[in-house]
Every structure is written in structure tokens, then in C-alpha cells.
Structure 1
Amino acid sequence: MAMHVNRRTALLLASASAMSLATPLAAQDVRLRLAFIPQENPEKLLGDIEAITGWLTSEVGVPVEGFVTIDHAAAVEALRNGDADISFMGALPFVLAEAEIGAVPLLSEVYRDAPSYTGRIFVRRDSGIGSLADLRGRNIAFADPISESGYLYPLAEFVKAGLIEGPTAADAFFGRVFFAGGYQQAMQAMAEGLVDAAGASQYADLLLTPRQQAEVTWIVESEPIPSHLVIARPGLDAGLQDRFIDAMLRLNAPENRKKLRYLYGPDGYVRSDSAAYDGVRDMARRYGLLE
């Protein structure tokens, strides 16, 4: 049955639609939810989140909220379920999230003028460990099973050295393999003698105390890895996404750079180039993580 709409009703509907389009996002109770991965002490991270989300709220124009996930996998699930709109993420979990849920890369971190870094195997200087072969039968802590610099790339160095055939053979080589839940946790376990070595980012030793930094060293470094990035769930409002990107890029300005310490301490951000992560996609396929 056809619906008849008189002229007055049509004008009211048009007016209501225009008001809705003109209403600021904040007045529509729109919120931007950010998921953070616990690559450093979660208690410190909570304070950092409060500081940066307060600044982002004023810059983006809608309330910005943040929370710490258990690990990378939980961050991907938060994006999948709509519990998070945007997440800070390593390169490997990004390519997995891209394949699983269509996650969108927004921004890449810059460290020392480059959007890349490496993974390293760290040991204590007094451990007597000078090569990867010396770790046979020893205990090692990695950051996260789907971390590129905190697991896959450092482990690949053992494959290159002919010590293991792949991740499934790691248990037969090492005494025990632990996943500590983050860079800082893995590094602390190694520095305190709970494990013999740690696989983590090349900058992970900076998460230790100055005394501990002097007591540790690294014995191997991986090939370059595309840096950590900021990703969005598919379907996020394009305007809101653009405003978030613009706000994050303003952190590169001299007057805002001190706020970068609240976001894991990069030197800045650039817009992501998806092609830069092709090498990570290839490695993920080689190790059976992607089809």
C-alpha cells in the first residue's frame, strides 16, 4: 500500500534529517574506543592512556576512551566485536587481523627517522652465552606468540642458523619457551635470571632500569621489520577516522612531541603504506599463520 506524505510532514522530515546531519558527533553520543597492547608495564600504561585520551578528546571532538587488552589476539577480537574502534598493533597481528576481519592500517610509528626496527635476542652479560647455539636446552621468554619482533623474527634467526626448522621445533631445542605478555615482562624475566634469554624489540632494553641495561646485551639481530602501527576496524566512520589520523599526525609538531611518551614512545607517526608489510605477510605464510 502506498504511503501518502503531505507537504508539511515532508518538510518536517527534511528538517529533522538536516538537523541530524548538522548535529556535532559529540552531541550524538559518538565515542572512539582505543585498544592498547601491554608491551610495557600495564600499570604505567593505564596512566599513559588517561593522559593521551584526554588530549585526543579535545583534538578529535568526541570522547576518546582507552583500555589495555591481555595481548594482541584480544585486541583483534575487540576490533572484531566492535568493543574497540582503533588499536595499537604490531605488524604481524595487523596482517592477521587484516586477513581475518579486514582491519585497516592508518598510521605507522617512526623510530630514529625510519618506519622500521628489528628484533633481538637479549642475554645477561655474565651468562656466558655468546651465540644462538649456546641457548640449546636453556629457557627463553618471548613477548607474545603473535608478535613479530617479540617472537617470529627473533625465532627466525634460529631457523637461519640451522638450529630449528620452525616454531613447532622450538620446544625441542630450548629447555622451556615462555610467553611473558609483553616486551618489558620478557626483558625483566631475563634480567632477573628467571630465564636465560629474551626475544624482544631492539629497543626493549630501554624498558629496564639503568642498572639492568648495563647488565644485558644482545647476541643476534633480525632483519628489518616494518614498525608498529595503528589500525581501525572495518566500517569505522570515515570522517571520525580522518579526524583521528589528523590529530595523531599533530603529535609530530614540536609543541606536541612530548606527548608521544604516552604512546609507547615513538619519534612520531606517518600514514601507513600497506605494501610495506608484504614481507611480514610472506613470513606469516611461511610459518603457516596465513594461507
Structure 2
Amino acid sequence: MRTALRWAWLIGLFLMACAPRPAARTRLVVAVQPTFAVSEMLEQARPLEQDLEQRLGPDVDVEIYVPLSQAGVVEALRFGQAHVAFMGPFAGLLAVERAGAQVVLAEVREVFHGAQKTEATYYYSYWVVPQDSPYQSLAELKGKRACFPSPISTSGYIGPMARLIERGLLPEPAEGQEVDPKAFFGQVLFAGGYGQCWEALKAGQVDVTVIAGDVPEKLYHEVLDHTRILEEQGPLPSHVVVVSSALSEPLRTRVVEALMGLGAPEHRSLMRRFISGLFVGFQKTDAQTHLGALRAYLQRTHIAFSERVEVGKGGGK
């Protein structure tokens, strides 16, 4: 009897040893750009985390990561602490150039191209003056007062500065120096947003400002209904999804397809918390296609990335 029990015990051990063990789950870290309190973002990110895990299958463990800054997202990609990131175009370009990351998706957003509302991965911005302004061209604004939303705004500052250089109104800066708008304008104001610049223009505090096709619809129409457009610049890129070079196939393709699925209308309100308030979907792309114009603007203006001004998530980057 004892011998039989011993054999049964040994056979049980053998079967346990031979039984297939569950495969270890692959950890996938998704970094999102910081737009409000980290604790609140992590709480709101749980549905996104769960949805991605459902799409990717039981072998992938998704973790949402919120660095304290967009520069922190770049570093996380560079050192393998993040595999996927939702980023603004300027920070996304830095991730490509400094962290060896790759752009895989561009945000499709609700924007205006002139008077037409459309869904696109790009938009334009416009120099505007009051309808009764005596100025008919940018050249006539030398020595006048200008308002810009932010010194790192792609549409509100970087593109407009590149346009002034293209028009020969500002000199291209020397190596190691940034473009200086005060070399053309007599007074320069960074107001913190397009709405604030519009208020400054209405109040007569400045002579010219910039409005972009990705601001809230009400603001866009209000500005264009009461101003004249002197000049435009673009195309200006929307937000991007970048992946680390450490994210290899076949998981890379699975991740891209899972993220494409989040462009469905039922996920729109969720994604607008983490991409932009204008998000409607994703489109496959690469850095040269989507960020080529921005790279050219930066090469012309020598503007360096800085988080001196926190940019909101509602558009107008």
C-alpha cells in the first residue's frame, strides 16, 4: 500500500513538472504627455489601459506612465522605460532625433482649413489684424506690436517665425542662437494662449496676432469674423504616436493596430483626454511625412524645445 501511494505521489510530481506553465506576460509601457495632475491622469487612464490589454491579448500587460514633463517622455523612450508615447509634434520630433524613436501614427483632428471645417492630420495658422487696421502686409508691421500664444507653439510661434524669415523680414539666426522677433517687431507679447492674444488685439494692446485652424470653433469664427488675414503658414502637424526602437515585431504591429482601433467613435471621448480635445482618430505615417515641415521650421528658426509655458490639451499647439 505504501509503495502504491509512493508511486502515485511520484507520478503526480512528474505530471506537475511536465505540465505547461503559463507564459510570462510582456510588459508594455505607454507614456502619455502630462496635461494635468499625474494622479488624476493615471486614474482616468485605467479604461485606456484595460482596452489596450483586451485588444492585445492576455500575453501583454499594459502600463500607463505619466512623466512630469514632455522632456521626461523623451528620456523614458530613450532609456527603455517606455515603449509607446502620445506626444505633441515638437516633443515627438525630439523623440525621433534624440531617442531613436519612430513615428507610427498621426492624430486626425477636427480643424479648419480657411473657412472649411475638416478632419485632417495637419492645419494652418494665420497672421491677422483688425478689419480697420491700416496694415496690408507683414512688411508694414515692422516696429509694431505682436502677440504670440507661446514660445514653443508650433502654429502660434515656430511657423510664424519661419514665415518672417522666408519673407526676408527677419534674419536667419546665427548658429547657437534662436530667432529674435524683436529684430522686427517693436514689442512682443507672449500671452499664454490664442484667446488671450485675441483679447489683446481687440483691446488695441497689439497690432497683429496669430490664430490657428485647430482652436475651438467658436474662437476661430469670432477672430476671423472681425479680422483680416495677412499671411498664412503650414502645413502644421497634429500630435503623434511614437514607438521605441526596443519595441520589436510582431508586438510592434499588434500595438499599432490596437491603437488604430481606438480611433472608433465610441472611444473618442476617452482619447480626447490623452491626445487632444480635437481628436477623431489615427492615421499611419512616419516622421518624414508628418514632421518634415516642422523640422524645416526649426532648422530655419533654431528654436529649442523648452517647457517654459505649459500648453493645454484642447488644440492650438
Question: In the TM superposition, what is the alpha-carbon distance from 1:116 to its structure 2 partner?
Answer: 2.0
- Give yes or no for contact 1:206–1:213 (8 Å, CA) kept in 2: no
Query: Cα deviations across residues 43-85 of structure 1 (Å, max 9, x unaligned)?
Result: 7x9867754x223211222344253754x54543443355544
- Aligned residue number for residue 65 of structure 1: 64
Shift of 1:227: 3.2
| 1:261 aligned partner | 272
Whole-angstrom distance in 2 between the partners of 1:222 and 1:49:
36
Residues 233 and 176 of structure 1: is their aligned pair in 2 closer, same or farther, counting only changes over 3 Å? farther
Tell me the CA shift for residue 190 of structure 1. 0.8
Structure 2: which amino acid aligns with 1:88? F
Number of the residue aligned with 1:174: 185
In the aligned structure 2, how far is the partner of 1:242 from the partner of 1:161? 43
Distance 1:280 1:113, change over 3 A: same
Q: 2:195 aligns with which of 178, 188, 203?
A: 188
Name the structure 2 match of 1:278: 292
- The answer to which structure has the higher helix fraction is 1
The residue type paired with residue 299 of structure 2 is: R
1:152 aligns with 2:152: no
Q: Residues 281 and 210 of structure 1: is their aligned pair in 2 closer, same or farther, counting only changes over 3 Å?
A: closer
CA RMSD of aligned residues (A): 4.2
TM-score with structure 1 setting the length: 0.68
Equivalent residue, structure 1, for 2:314: none
1:96 aligns with 2:107: no
For residues 207 and 240 of structure 1, the distance between their equivalents in structure 2, rounded to whole angstroms, comes to 42
Evaluate the alpha carbon distance shift between residue 90 and residue 200 of structure 1 in structure 2; reply closer, same or farther with a 3 A threshold: farther
Larger radius of gyration: 2
What is the SS of the residue equivalent to 2:193?
A: helix
Change (3 A) 1:256 1:96: closer
Deviation at 1:223, TM superposition (A): 2.8
Alignment of 1:1-291 (within 5 A): 19=21, 22-25=23-26, 30=27, 32-36=29-33, 38=35, 42=36, 50-51=43-44, 53-61=45-53, 62-67=61-66, 69-70=68-69, 72-82=70-80, 84-111=82-109, 112-121=118-127, 131-132=137-138, 133-134=140-141, 136-145=143-152, 147-166=153-172, 167-177=178-188, 185-193=192-200, 196=206, 197-199=208-210, 201-206=212-217, 208=219, 219-236=230-247, 238=249, 241-262=252-273, 263-264=275-276, 265-276=278-289, 277-288=291-302
Distance in 2, Cα, partners of 1:76 & 1:37? 12
Tell me by how many angstroms 1:98 deviates. 1.6
- TM-score, structure 2 as length reference: 0.63
Partner deviation per Cα, 1:93-131 (whole Å, 9 max, x = no partner): 433332222121121112334332223335666877664
Structure number with the higher strand fraction is: 2
Identity over aligned pairs, percent: 26
Q: Distance in 2 between matches of 1:192 and 1:66?
A: 37
Q: Distance in 1 between matches of 2:72 and 2:103?
A: 18
> For residue 198 of structure 2, what is the amino acid of its counterpart?
A
Secondary structure of the 1:118 match is strand
Residue 238 of structure 1, CA deviation: 4.8
Is the Cα contact below 8 Å between 1:35 and 1:69 reproduced in 2?
Answer: no
CA contact (8 A) 1:36 1:67 kept: yes
